[in-house]
Amino acid sequence: MTTIEEGDRAFCEFSGVIESDHQGYEGPGYANGVNSAGVKLTWAITLERAGNYPIAIRYANGSAEPRPARLAAGEQTAALDFSSTTAWAEWQSEQASLFLSAGVNIITLEALEAAGLANIDSISITGAQTVAAGMCPKLPPITVWIAGDSTVANGRTPCPVGWGKTIGEYFNDKVTVQNYAVGGRSVRTWLYDVSDQMASNGECRIATNNDGSPVLQNRWVTTLSQMQAGDYLLIQFGINDGSRTCPRHVGGNAFKEEYLYMANEAIKRGAHPVFITPAPAVRCSGSTAVASRGFITETFSAAQELNIPVLDLHKLGTDLYNQLAFCPVAGGGVSANTGGAVGNFFCDDHTHFDTPGAVQISELIANELRAQGVALADYIEDAR
């Protein structure tokens, strides 16, 4: 029997931490993965001969409910229950048998529910043949493309600063961030050459080429021409789109159509779109921060059609403002003279961030990628 512990070469990188808080584990500790459906543990082993191999996974589940998971190697899978062990310091094993090939096998354990995996202490493989460590799969380099407005844009020094400038601090060195967010843009003025005139359909006129196709902004042309399979496209608009006048006005249906268009263009190239609801302004009702943005429903509706993730930054940010007790804002409003926590977080208004605020918004996004089990989270280093 060969047992693989955390820290062994056959134990691969994962979204979570190695802990030693609960006693009774063996080896250096146990793996506590992010609590999310889809989070995985991966082992890489090498076998001399193919065959059916008994596999045992030692775990603890101190919650009352089971934490079901799928064990897989190639096309072979087995369902595991990981029922409650009544306490996190109580350990037992789940058993399965998989057909493993000669050579390198990548074995994965994937959580099937939002609670994530149980705490995993080790995996043991039994067989007459020698089991050795294999080569763990390496994360390929990717680019994260960002489309958005001034709350996302790199901004100016020292202020304002968008979260797109600081999000790169949370990724490892395999990620290149291309932040094409631009201040003052709606989703349409970011994409197209838009006129100041309103058309009969209630939307701003878009300039067209001789063939009738819309004139695209260079930032979108560059993104489309350089985007590669495996890349990510993060999209956040909805702050300027509610303008009543052109060129920034965008109706709800048109807003959704543009999100679907951008996402489908990314999908065609093998990239992964992620929608983000607009960053909130600090708006107070007494001592409570309240909702301040629109286009939330349209963002979720477009994502549901394509079954892609939405990071609800509007809610996460509003919750953060309440946790930080920003309301009521001293003096009744945010200005260049506002001090304290609010003045440190925001630039000189209720909307735009100073660097500390942008960093905290980036952390919300990084943590939400992990919480939802978005595969981009595999590239995130420990959030601060």
d(CA 111, CA 57): 14
The pLDDT of residue 161 is above 80: yes
- State residue 365 phi and psi, 5-degree precision: -65, -45
Per-residue tokens: 129: 């043949």
Q: What is the DSSP string of 198-215?
A: EPTTSSEEE-B-TTSPBP
Whether 253 has a pLDDT exceeding 70, the answer reads yes
DSSP state, residue 246: T
Q: Is the pLDDT of residue 383 over 80?
A: no
Check pLDDT > 50 for residue 328.
yes
What pTM was computed for the model? Answer: 0.73
Burial level of 141, CB count in 10 A (0-12/13-18/19+)? Answer: middle
Mean pLDDT of 289-298: 95
Q: What is the mean pLDDT of residues 324-351?
A: 88
pLDDT, tens digit, 9 for 90 and up, residues 125-138? 988 666 787 888 88
Q: Which of 133, 129, 163 is nearest to 146 (CA)?
A: 163
Reported as a single tens digit per residue, the pLDDT across 28-55 is 999 998 888 888 899 999 888 889 999 9
Query: Residue 129: what pLDDT?
Result: 66
Smallest CA-to-CA distance from 334 within 319, 321, 316 is with 321
pLDDT at 382 over 70: no
Quote the Cα angle for 289-294-299, to 5°.
Answer: 115
| Eight-state DSSP code of residue 379 | G
Q: What is the pLDDT of residue 32?
A: 92
Would you place residue 304 in the very low, low, confident or very high pLDDT band (cuts 50, 70, 90)?
Answer: very high
Q: Could you tell me if 56 and 141 are in contact, meaning their C-beta atoms sit under 8 angstroms apart?
A: no
Q: In the prediction, which pLDDT does 130 show?
A: 64
Highest mean pLDDT among 7-11, 125-129, 239-243: 239-243
More confident residue, 112 or 39: 112
* 156: Cβ contacts below 8 Å, ≥ 6 apart: none
pLDDT digits (tens, 9 = 90+) for 306-320: 999 999 999 999 999
Are 155 and 357 within 8 A, CB to CB? no
Could you tell me what percent of the chain has a pLDDT over 70?
98
The per-residue pLDDT for 137 is 81
Residue among 347, 341, 344, 301 nearest 322 (CA): 341
The Cα 142–Cα 161 span in angstroms is 24
Say how far apart CA 280 and CA 302 lie, in whole Å.
20
Average pLDDT, the chain: 92
The region of weakest confidence among 65-74, 326-335, 343-352 is: 326-335
Check residue 384 and give its pLDDT.
45
Is-contact 230 266, C-beta < 8 A?
A: no
